[in-house]
Amino acid sequence: MNYLAHIYLSGDDPLITMGNFMADGIKGKQYKTYLPQLQKGILLHRSIDSFTDSHPIVKQSTKRLHKKYSHYSGVIVDILYDHFLAKNWKNYSEKPLAGFIEHFYDSLDEHFELLTPGIQRMVPHMIADNWLLSYKDISGIGTVLYNMNRRTRNISGMDRAVEDLQLHYHDFEDEFTRFFEELRAFCIQKIIELNTVFSIK
């Protein structure tokens, strides 16, 4: 899953959210050097990624793209799924998307010193261009995919994936909707498990 989903699935604890948000840059057992609530977020992120990568519905989505984008198809699906989360936000939260995102940006500012250096460098760009809110529009997803393609030195061709999104829009949306219900339930249980484990330590 991409940024918006990881943030949403973290629950109400801001430090778990911060850990989940920055987890990609923390490898192996490095997570143990962070505060316990951040550790929970990092471990939650890893569990979300494992659950997602092994799920048959997600594999169905990535298979549709694999011939054209090879191993980049999983990254593309993560981004497309964030689009459907943003687009259908009212189905998942009573709080308006813009307000949810603004609250998250405020939390980033409040906990900035806890973030990894790479995330600290990224955050000003994320906020200035309001990446998270842009996900709800196809044009915003097109920009994300264009920038991701540039990061691969134009090797991935990910910028063309917006065409695949439009061509198979309803299939991707149906797959996201069915998968995300299972992922939400998984994350609720995982947070309970992490809270239990860390309370025993």
pLDDT over 90 at 34, yes or no: yes
Q: If you average pLDDT over residues 27-48, what whole number do you get?
A: 96
Q: How confident is the model at residue 199 (pLDDT cuts 50, 70, 90)?
A: confident
The confidence score (pLDDT) of residue 89 equals 98
pLDDT over 90 at 200, yes or no: no
Q: If you average pLDDT over residues 30-58, what whole number do you get?
A: 97
The mean pLDDT value of the chain amounts to: 95
pLDDT over 70 at 201, yes or no: no
pLDDT digit string, tens, across residues 103-113: 999 999 999 99
pLDDT over 90 at 20, yes or no: yes
pLDDT over 70 at 147, yes or no: yes
Q: If you average pLDDT over residues 120-133, what whole number do you get?
A: 95
Q: If you average pLDDT over residues 129-133, what whole number do you get?
A: 94
How far apart, in whole angstroms, are the C-alpha atoms of residue 185 and residue 19?
A: 20
pLDDT digit string, tens, across residues 57-104: 999 999 999 999 999 999 999 999 999 999 999 999 999 999 999 999
pLDDT over 70 at 198, yes or no: yes
Of 17, 14, 141, whose CA–CA distance to 76 is shortest?
Answer: 141
